[in-house]
A and B are shown apart, each in its own frame.
Chain A
Amino acid sequence: MRSVAELAEAVRSAPGPFVVRGGGSKQDWGGAPDGSAYLDVADLREIVDHAAGDLVVTAQAGVRLADLQAALAGAGQWLALDPPEAGATLGGIVATAATGPRRLLYGGPRDLLIGTTFVLADGTVARAGGKVVKNVAGYDLCKLFCGSYGTLAVLAELTFRLHPLPEAGAVVVVETPTPADVGRAVAGALHSQAVASAIDYADGRVTVLIEGVEAGVGARAASMAEAIGGEIAGTVPEGFGSRPWGEGEVGIKVAAEVAAVPQVLEALRAAGATRVSGPAGVGVLYAALAAVDDVPPLREAIAGHDGSVVVLHASEEDRRRVDPWGPVAGLALMRRVKERFDPQRRLAPGRFVGGI
């Protein structure tokens, strides 16, 4: 299919429940859905409109992020999302709220998506938001759909606000052998007025990205290096921003209060995490675990810091054995939302929190 109308027809005529598939890079994230049918939207790959002067782009959901960035770069702009999954599409990134290191400065899909055309489970085509950044007309369904894992609607077209590509960058690195060292570096970087684009932890060190105008980054990097006791490095470390898990491992995302990063690292160590990395400056870390059974005790250990653990990568068997989402506040209300949008439970049943 290549148009919204064709997508709507495909949704309407789908014989049973299905999962939407774009680039297929995150199909195993979240709960294992009931049933194995999927709806492929990878051919919805038209960049509909790039209003460069307005810093806004509208693209179909199957457009790959890398293709979009290449198209925008000509105008010196980008969509300020940098999740590492190769081949990921805009629809999949929005549906899973996937982010990368620069989430610190720019936020996630919820902060950048300003409009969408979508298809409900019965084939109804509707629109929310618009094509201007500032807009409070009607409910903001865009935010509702971000991170909903395709359980409320099928995304067809997405409109994002864009940012200018920074003209220069600098990197500051500090070695942080202990969790307390990481905590100090993160706090120092957050409190600095040098404004980091990213504060990332990996392999026993914290990396801080400074981006902006050529004339400013040098002084800012020096000030940041002083704030965290680090050094200015030539480039980002290898594998910067990549997820820490491999095939056969359990991959998790841990989110907590940012000041609790040391406690989260301790808890991950106790849970036997083999590798840990992620945007520590926003209080999020990704980790590889040897066994999914280590997840529930980890949840308990960090619950007091507004901590949560989501299983993103695991075998289907593991994802059926341990709830990938854990306890969820407001679950009853979320179920009511699901019932309204998809009463027949056609969209990815079983994939989301509480088996939604």
Chain B
Amino acid sequence: MTEPAADLAALAAELTARLGADAVYTDPEKLRTYECDGLTAYRVVPALVVLPSSAEDVRFVVRRCAAYGVPFVARGSGTGLSGGALPHAEGVLIVLSRLTRLVEIDLANQRAVVEPGVINLNVSRATLPDGYYYAPDPSSQQVCSIGGNVAENSGGAHCLKYGFTANHVTGLDVVLPDGELVGLGGKAVERPGYDLVGAFVGSEGTLGVTTGVTVRLLRSPEAVQTLLAGFAHTDDAGAAVSAIIAAGIVPAAVEMMDALAIEAAEAAVRCGYPAGAGAVLIVELDGPAAEVEAGFARVRQICADAGAFELRVAADDVERGLIWRGRKSAFAAVGRISPDYYVQDGVIPRTALPEVLREIGEIAERNGVRVANVFHAGDGNLHPLVLFDATQPGQTERAEEVAGAILDACIAHGGSITGEHGVGSDKKHHMPRMFSATDLDVMQLLRCAFDPEHLCNPGKVFPTPRLCGEAPGPRRGVHPLVAQGRAEMF
């Protein structure tokens, strides 16, 4: 066996010969610009960065990595919030931002075929003039890539009604960790065999690298109605959400912000939300005009009955944009009211909302930090923003503790530690609180089928890697991968 450094140098030379010097970075300064994704708390400088321009390039890179036994991590725009695209210090970072072709827009089949580096919003931009759009709309949709969306099974405000990336991808070209290229699924709604497209979406880059994605295009809705409602308290807003759902209405989106989040958004973008509100609710209905009109009247009545002191209806797209502006800027906006903040992502059953919000308030108070709450109220996906000042001794630790305690509360109420940001590097240590060791071992059976050598985005999602020869169940002694120096045990 050769030394890792020698392998990497030889690999870099091979990749440069094939892809060209402008596609392979070895210069430390350039490498440093890729040291983190959207979760900047974790930083690792990769050994090598490559920027392939085609699926064949990607295949070549992966095949050479496999031959040298060098780990690799795929990355799109790097907007992920769980450190899922955190590089490997002795590995290759495969940046897919040059694979930006919209390969095919096929309106007759309501599909688009795109390369992984295509920006999410560009799909809808290309198809909206013809009356079609791509539904998953993560807040970062102006910059995030489809490939990253596939890795993370990204959602967005409108996934309450339309589902997540997994519900909108019908085909994938995947370079497997041994360099083999397989086509899974296609434009048809199904193909014989295991639903490996379904298994791959949301696997956080640990099963292979996608080089082509076939997505559904939806017909644009005939009508869209958006309401902003101001409430005195989050409990009242929560009651309104429950009543809307109980009335059999499936809104396109239901978003909630609490007083502190409103304050931040106000400071950042002057969104003009109702003054003095303890909570605001954004409810959006879309679909056939007659359906939307009837549903919207009921939503207004429900909000009024639940104690909304102000109801504002968007008259047009411009006003709708203003209503959404405060919500979509919320994460960045808390930077205006706090030097540092931590974006949490947890899920609870919707009905537990009032109780969990009270618990979050208590947790925050106990630890002496502030928490601003922004959430997709329709599906119980919370995004508490834990505010702190890293220059104050102990505050960072307390903020981390609060963020962790919030996840514990989500689990205690039967929820999840992540609704859309993924596990990545950040939450793998929380996985054992949600799943048993056996559950995690069984999941890794899938990993072993795709990546028996653990070269593809290693060290993410799972707290402990599984040696692929092992059967699920209790394990004794030092983990073999740890003994070999190929993995760290946390």
Which residue of B has the minimal Cβ distance to A165?
A: B248
Per the bound structure, the CA–CA distance linking A128 and B431 in Å amounts to 12
Q: Which residues of A contact B163 (CB under 8 A)?
A: 107, 111
Bound-complex Cα distance A110 to B472 (A): 25
**What B residues does A110 contact at CB under 8 A?**
195, 198
Contact B418 A137 (CB under 8 A): yes
How near does chain A come to B255, taking the closest CB pair, in angstroms?
A: 13
> What CA separation (Å) do A115 and B423 show in the bound complex?
17
- Residues on A with C-beta less than 8 A from B440 are 138
Tell yes or no: B291 within 8 A of A by CB.
Answer: yes
Q: Does B70 contact A (CB under 8 A)?
A: no
Interface string of A307-348 (1 = CB under 8 A from B): 110100000000000000110111101101101110000000
Question: Which residues 177-218 of B have a CB within 8 angstroms of A?
Answer: 182-184, 186-196, 198-199, 201-203
Task: Tell me if B287 is interfacial: C-beta within 8 Å of chain A.
Answer: yes
Stretch of A190-198, A199-207, A232-240, A286-294 at the chain-chain interface? A190-198
Contact assessment for A138 and B450 in the assembled complex, using a CB-CB cutoff below 8 Å: no
Tell me, in angstroms, the Cα distance from A30 to B275 when the chains sit together. 62
Nearest A residue (CB) for B443: A139
Binary B-proximity of A138-161 (CB < 8 A = 1, otherwise 0): 111101101110001000000000
Which listed residue, B166, B193, B198, B415, touches A328 by the CB 8 Å rule? B193
B230 close to chain A: CB less than 8 A: no
Residues of chain A within 8 A of B350, CB atoms compared = 53-54
In the assembled complex, how far is the CB of residue B66 from the closest CB belonging to chain A, in whole angstroms?
15
Does any Cβ of B come within 8 Å of A20's Cβ?
no
> For the complex, is B315 an interface residue (Cβ under 8 Å from A)?
no
Segment at the interface with B among A32-40, A62-70, A254-262: A254-262
Q: Quick one: given A56-B349, A126-B442, are A334 and B196 in contact (CB under 8 Å)?
A: yes
A300 within 8 A of B: no
* Contact code string B409-446 (vs A, CB < 8 Å = 1, else 0): 00000111111111100010001001110111111011
Interchain CB contact under 8 A, B193 and A330: yes
B263 in contact (CB, < 8 A): no
In the complex, A283 Cα to B189 Cα: how many Å?
7
| Interchain CA distance A22-B155 in the complex, whole Å | 34
Is B110 part of the contact surface with A, judged by Cβ < 8 Å?
yes
Verify B347–A135 contact, CB threshold 8 A. Answer: yes
| Binary per-residue interface labels of chain B (228-258) against chain A in the complex, 1 for a CB within 8 Å, 0 otherwise | 0000000000000010011011100000000
The answer on a CB contact under 8 Å between B108 and A306 is no
Instruction: Give the distance to chain B from A127, nearest Cβ to Cβ, in Å.
Output: 5
Q: Is A132 touching B415 in the complex (CB atoms < 8 A)?
A: yes
The stretch from A171-179, A212-220, A242-250, A265-273 touching chain B is: A212-220
In this assembly, does A164 line the interface, its C-beta being within 8 Å of a C-beta of chain B? yes
**Does B417 contact A55, Cβ atoms closer than 8 Å?**
no
Q: Which residue from A139, A216, A223, A258 sits with its C-beta under 8 Å from B202?
A: A139
Q: In the complex, what residue of chain A is closest to B420 when comparing beta carbons?
A: A136
Question: Is B115 at the interface (CB under 8 A from chain A)?
Answer: no
Which residue in chain B gives the minimum CB-CB distance to A333? Answer: B182
* Additional A-B contacts beyond A54-B380, A257-B188 (13; CB < 8 A): A53-B246, A97-B190, A107-B163, A126-B436, A135-B347, A136-B420, A137-B418, A143-B199, A144-B196, A167-B248, A190-B219, A212-B291, A337-B446
B interface residues, Cβ below 8 angstroms from A? 106, 108-111, 131, 152-153, 155, 159, 163-164, 166-167, 176, 182-184, 186-196, 198-199, 201-203, 219-222, 242, 245-246, 248-250, 287-291, 293-295, 347-351, 376, 379-381, 414-423, 427, 431, 434-436, 438-443, 445-450, 461, 468, 471-473
Task: Please list 9 pairs of residues, one from A and one from B, whose beta carbons are closer than 8 Å in the complex, sorted by A's number.
Answer: A51-B349, A111-B167, A138-B423, A212-B287, A212-B291, A213-B295, A256-B188, A257-B111, A337-B445
Binding site for B on A (CB under 8 A): 51, 53-56, 76, 97, 103, 107-108, 110-111, 120, 122, 124-128, 130-141, 143-144, 146-148, 152, 163-165, 167, 187, 190-195, 212-220, 223, 255-259, 282-284, 305-308, 310, 325-326, 328-331, 333-334, 336-337, 339-341, 352-353
